[in-house]
Amino acid sequence: MRLQRGQIPQLSRQMVKALVDAGDIEVSSQRDVERDFESVMTSYLGQVDQVLSRARDLVHQRGLPQGEFSRIKELAAEQAGIKVGDDGMDYLLGQLLEMLMQSSSVEEVFAEDHEIKKRIRGFLREEEAQDQKLDAEVRAKLRHVQEGTRVWEIEYERMKSEIKRRRGM
């Protein structure tokens, strides 16, 4: 699962508003809960960045083929105590739910855990679908560059930034 840092404030606002409007939670300050959501998601992204960096370093240091990157990434994530890939969304949902239970800005939680996760998951899936669409577009434009190389990584980020800028994302 990939989140864009720039989308986190808007995503947090949407999630908290949906939970409050549905009567799932009662809050003393909606803005504080939004900031708590932002903090959890930003922290998760920071941890994922560290895991990816560690995995890249290990693949490079050991001279492993790029095909081993995903396996090394999973091991690095396990060592860091987080989940990435397919399990990343469930991990993040658990972290957000835990924050709701412990936040001083949340007065009461009325809904069951699975109901809250289901409501939040919709927003994360929508964000993920947009990111996958953007990723597919970038990859289509980079067909001529070998994936996994340093040039590919640089061009991928450059092209992604350019497309996002053009779309006002």
Instruction: Report pLDDT digits (tens) over 37-46.
Output: 999 999 999 9
> How much is the pTM?
0.81
Which pairs from 108-113 meet CB under 8 Å and 24+ separation?
Answer: 108/25, 108/26, 109/24, 109/25, 110/23, 110/24, 110/25, 110/26, 111/19, 111/22, 111/23, 111/24, 111/25
Domain that holds residue 40: 5-167
Least confident of 8-12, 41-45, 146-150, 159-163: 146-150
Longest dimension (CA), the chain: 54
Supply the DSSP symbol for 83. -
How far apart are alpha carbons 120 and 114 in whole angstroms?
A: 10
**Per-residue pLDDT at 35 exceeds 90:** yes
Would you say 124 and 1 are in contact if contact means Cβ atoms under 8 Å apart?
yes
**Per-residue pLDDT at 151 exceeds 90:** no
- What pLDDT score does 166 carry? 85
Supply the DSSP symbol for 24. S
Query: What digits encode the pLDDT tens for the residues 69-113?
Result: 888 999 999 999 999 987 899 999 999 999 999 999 999 999 999
Alpha carbon 56 to its chain centroid, in Å, reads: 19
State the total domains in the chain: 1
Per DSSP, what are the bridge partners of residue 25?
A: 109
Angle at 11 between CA 9 and CA 14, to 5 degrees: 110
How far apart are alpha carbons 78 and 132 in whole angstroms?
A: 24
- What pLDDT score does 1 carry? 65
- What pLDDT score does 146 carry? 80
Reported as a pLDDT band with limits 50, 70 and 90, residue 24 is: very high
Would you say 2 and 128 are in contact if contact means Cβ atoms under 8 Å apart?
yes
